[in-house]
Amino acid sequence: MKSELLLMLLGAVLVLEGLAYFLAPERLKHFFRLVQTLDDRTLRIAGFCAAAIGLLIIYLMRDRICP
């Protein structure tokens, strides 16, 4: 059960990633150019915040997904 859930989540991530490239490639290129201008500290803070929010969502939903 848990391996199937992991594969489903991986599939969902790939779908969301792919949609950005499919629906708005020019905006994505612009975003990447903007990211290149940011300093490492800002990128680390943004990455940490994204990871922390993701972990919080997983923590809050853990009993609903895998009872």
Is the confidence at residue 65, as pLDDT, over 80? no
Q: Give CA separation, 17 vs 1, 14, 23, 48, in Å.
A: 25, 5, 10, 19
pLDDT in tens, 24-58: 999 999 999 999 999 999 999 999 999 999 999 88
Please tell me the pTM assigned to this model: 0.70
Output the CA–CA distances (angstroms, integers) from residue 35 to 14, 41, 58, in the order listed: 21, 12, 27
Residue 56 is encoded by which pair of tokens? 């919080």
